[in-house]
A and B are shown apart, each in its own frame.
Chain A
Amino acid sequence: MNLFLFTGIVLLSSVGAGLVGALTGLGGGIVVTPVLTLLLGVDIRYAIGASLVSVIATSSGAAAAYVRDGLSNVRIGIFLEVATTLGAICGALISRKVPTSLLAIIFGVVLLHSAWQASQARVETSVVASQGAFAKRLRLGGTYRTEDGQVDYTVSREGAGLGLMYLAGLISGLLGIGSGALKVIAMDRVMGLPFKVSTATSSFMIGVTAVASAAIYFKRGYILPQMAVPVMIGVLAGSMLGARLLPRLPVKVLRMIFAIVVALIALQMMVKGIQESL
């Protein structure tokens, strides 16, 4: 295969990755990694580097629109980033002392269950009832527009949410993947945010989480321009498209897409864990 063809294939599949990444709040690595490793036979370390680029590109591309449209709750995002970055650092510190293959299997099972849960609808309107005192002080509530008008929402159980975010960061530091899924689930299921706000806020946050590991990948030579540039341009285009689509798509469809992608991540994780422990 020559470089023209390689660039073309990577560019096109990255548009799809950006689209999926922006709609789910997960970042698109789930598409980029298999295309590069299975289809194009790229070394896994280059694929990891490209996947990291894909996460950052999704975050920038999608969040530029989500933040402007008020879909990403910037305050919640920044507030929760405290826990994810702290978790990521702790995860990286203890990663040599933890049996990561066993952890990957356990976390895969947890994610599979979460995928099923996330596919179930939840009543989203007028949950103004139980706003946490701390959330009120931080002014974490917000408003977003739908076709039926404005929806006001508040945040509940922000402490439990922070704990889960720490766990999400820890897992991403330990296993390298899967932190986006926990972020969305924590906001949707625990903190009671509308699903679209959860995915859009996750999109906003994942760039910062990913950038924390960018320096080490760069220094190790994981990031090659021949791969990273078509990934970057494709994912940026796809995620900007996804960010335009999300406000118009029904929550039911978005939940379905999210559940399928999370289930795929869970299976990928379990397979990886089983392979490593054999």
Chain B
Amino acid sequence: MKTQDAALTKTISATLRIGIVLAIGFGMLGCMLYLPSKGNAHASFHHFQGAQVPFASLHAIQTMVTKPASIAERGFGLAEIGVLLLMATPIMRVILSLVNFVRERDILFACITTFVLAALACSLMTR
């Protein structure tokens, strides 16, 4: 019983750690690219711009990184990827816990985790 949970906690802890490192890495790299040129620009976020900003679509972010108009734009794109990696971390954590439960033949918890994953997928798709 102890050894099972040791594997589980190790998996989860490692997943979270990798997620943190990747998110901070991309976030900092992005900041270093956009802050030098945009740092002195006026920062105002009084007005909500809605989904027309490029940060609302994965495709637009991909374009910002691969074919940027300026270095700053590539920075914004990379920074947003960092945030997306942070958001992907809890999902990865659930998926890898499921793999762990299946491998340990813990049927009850495999079912519970599958349910959580399905509910998560459902809320990500529909809303």
Contact = CB atoms under 8 A, between A and B. Distances in A.
A89 B47 CA distance: 30
A85 B113 contact: no
A222 to B, nearest CB: 8
B43 to A, nearest CB: 4
A74 B87 CA distance: 19
B119 A86 contact: yes
Interface residues of B, number: 64
Contacts of B122: 89
A56 B90 CA distance: 8
B42 interface: yes
A274 interface: no
Interface stretch (A59-67, A105-113, A180-188, A191-199): A59-67
- Among B45, B115, B120, the most chain A Cβ lie within 10 Å of the Cβ of B45
Given A64-B20, A208-B94, A214 B87 contact: yes
Contact-residue size bin, chain A (C-beta under 8 Å from the other chain) = 35 or more
Contacts of B8: 74
A208 B116 contact: yes
A138 B113 CA distance: 13
Contacts, number: 191
B117 to A, nearest CB: 9
B127 A74 contact: no
Nearest to B41: A3
B123 interface: yes
B19 A60 contact: yes
A194 B109 CA distance: 23
B70 interface: no
Contacts of A218: 55-56, 84, 87
Nearest to A9: B43
Contacts of A126: none
12 contacts: A1-B44, A3-B43, A4-B35, A7-B35, A64-B16, A78-B116, A218-B55, A219-B51, A223-B80, A225-B30, A225-B76, A225-B82
Task: Give me the 7 closest cross-chain CB pairs, A-B, nearest first.
Answer: A225-B79, A207-B90, A6-B43, A85-B119, A221-B56, A64-B16, A212-B123
